[in-house]
A and B are shown apart, each in its own frame.
Chain A
């Protein structure tokens, strides 16, 4: 168990820095994690994060294809918003578990 101080709160995270409890998340935490990843969050980022959190809360599998078809962003914009490894980065910032999907 790792406790990490994020945005002034002590949050339980995994070894890779993913939040253990999605309900502990708030926008300040997202901003702080994003900063560590070198990202400045915009309204659009938060829209995507919201979509991801809802998907995960409903127990659905996250895929880049699914996010690209969500109507929130297309796949290309998703890659631009979270450059590098978008699914991993976005889930970390959204405070949900690391995705296990290959797609």
Chain B
């Protein structure tokens, strides 16, 4: 086993298909982490994930308080789904999440994208989803390099040591 040859990761493509705060953050943390390690990184946003790169919505993402069995009250008690549906609860929980992230030096979405771009990472929007939601290049944050097709995305996966991560 000791002599087994290792093939380090060289390129990673993150696909973010969801628009709630925690899923977007997961994709961005993974992408930024790859950039930090010197791994070539491309992030592809599709479907509701487009919210994370749309100027109007990107810094207003919410944590889902309904249908999330891992949600807990601050003391650790289970968080009833019915409570999650009450007006203002989602906003309150989101505020708490954002506060927690700020403490850990996790930036807001726009700044996070800029950080990834600063390290050489590339941000893309999915053509099909953009068409579906009637979004144009100018609706997206300036870090978005292009609107591309699935075929374009796969064409970027050339070379050994490439991985696609779907979130």
| A interface with B by C-beta (< 8 Å) | 61, 63-66, 68, 74-76, 79, 83-88, 101-103
Contacts and interface: CB of A to CB of B under 8 A. Distances in A.
Given A64-B36, A64-B119, A79-B119, 15 more contacts: A63-B105, A65-B115, A66-B105, A68-B115, A68-B118, A74-B118, A75-B114, A75-B115, A75-B119, A85-B37, A86-B36, A87-B36, A103-B29, A103-B105, A103-B106
Given A79-B120, A103-B29, A65 B36 contact: no
B32 interface: yes
Contacts of A68: 115, 118
Which of B32, B114, B115 has the largest number of chain A CB atoms within 10 A? B115
Contacts of A84: 38
B29 A102 contact: yes
Nearest to B101: A103
Contacts of A86: 36, 119
Interface in B105-142: 105-107, 111, 114-115, 118-120
B36 A85 contact: yes
A65 B38 contact: no
The 6 closest A-B pairs by CB, nearest first: A84-B38, A75-B118, A76-B118, A85-B38, A63-B105, A79-B119
Chain B interface size band reads 10 to 19
A75 B113 CA distance: 12
A79 to B, nearest CB: 5
A66 B107 CA distance: 10
Contacts, number: 40
B25 to A, nearest CB: 11
Contacts of B100: none
B104 interface: yes
Nearest to A66: B105
Contacts of A66: 105
Contacts of B37: 85, 88
B145 to A, nearest CB: 15
Interface in B1-52: 29, 32-33, 36-38
B52 to A, nearest CB: 18
Interface string B84-113: 000000000000000000001111000100
A26 B119 CA distance: 28
A79 B33 CA distance: 13
